[in-house]
Amino acid sequence: MSNEANTATDAAGTDNQGAAGNIASYIDHTLLKPEASEAEVLKVCAEAAEYHFKSVCVNPIWVKTVKTALRGSGVLSCSVIGFPLGATPSDVKAFEARGAVLDGADEIDMVINIAAARANDKGALVDDIRAVAEAVHSGGAILKVIIETALLDDAQKVLACEAAVEAGADFVKTSTGFNGGGATAEDVALMRRTVGPGLGVKASGGVRSLADAQAMIAAGATRIGASSGIAIVKGEQGSSAY
């Protein structure tokens, strides 16, 4: 992850056309609506291949479909776990993650035990994240940890990020996009300061334009989660809520 961290500001200081092209490689092209159809999932995969996004991020039931559709494209497959509430026992999250990796997920985005973060219970957070990290890493995939910044104060955000580092995660991530709020440059900067250069930081939730993405990257993000990826790379304004 250090290579991504080291290139975090590459897109921020260039012109819009150059930045847009570079930013495509930061974007996890996302479709997490529970009602999403196979046709919609395949459309997102085709878009990701066309625009050279980093990954396609979907719910676990679509991982096999995405893996097949993206074969040979160079685009990674990503799935969410314990999503969107994080209120699932750790062993169930680990089981779900292991299944997604077996189905072909290259990356896993898990939601933490938010109640533990709000209770300042770092031990419970570490245990929760470590269980999933071990399952994910045993299959050769990487783990992003969603801390759901909108539901935490700054001290709790720091605690959750510290727990992710201790538990062996590869990334920390701002938001699900489903529980209010979303990514802010201030939260991304706080997360980057907390985890240092060794972990990735993913900004997700409400990133809908090139300017939004540039601001997140300038603050320290190394990945952008968005369903408005095409609008971002075209320099347009996206309308998606995620």
Rg (CA), the chain: 16
202 is catalytic: yes
The catalytic residue among 106, 173, 187, 212 is 173
The catalytic residue among 109, 128, 170, 187 is 109
* DSSP character string of 26-56: GEEEEE--TT--HHHHHHHHHHHHHHT-SEE
157 is catalytic: no
Joined together, the tokens standing for residue 57 give 């991020």
Pairing of strands 142-146, 76-81: unpaired
DSSP code, position 196: G
Distance, in Å, from the CA atom of 172 to the CA atom of 181, rounded to the nearest integer, reads 17
Segment holding 108, helix H or strand E: strand 107-111
Amino acid at 57: C
* DSSP character string of 128-181: HHHHHHHHHHHTT-EEEEE--GGGS-HHHHHHHHHHHHHHT-SEEE---SSSS-
Distance, in Å, from the CA atom of 147 to the CA atom of 166, rounded to the nearest integer, reads 14
Cα dihedral 176, 178, 179, 184 in deg (nearest 10): 50
Is residue 131 within 8 Å of residue 103, measured between CB atoms?
no
Q: Which residues are catalytic?
A: 109, 173, 202
